[in-house]
Amino acid sequence: MLDEFKKFILKGNVVDLSTGVIIGAAFGNIVAAFTKGIVEPLIKLASGGKDPNVTLPLGPFDLGVIINAIIGFLITAAVIFFVIVKPVNKLMSMMKKKEEEAPPAAPAADIVLLTEIRDLLKK
Predicted pLDDT at 81: 92
User: Between residues 26 and 44, which one has the greater pLDDT?
Assistant: 26
DSSP 8-state secondary structure symbol assigned to residue 52? T
pLDDT band, very low/low/confident/very high, at 72 (cuts 50, 70, 90)? very high
- The predicted structure's pLDDT at residue 80: 93
Please list the helix, strand and coil fractions of the chain in percent, rounded to the nearest 5, in that order: 80, 0, 20
Instruction: Name the least confident of 39-43, 73-77, 95-99, 100-104.
Output: 100-104
Q: What is the mean pLDDT of residues 34-42?
A: 84
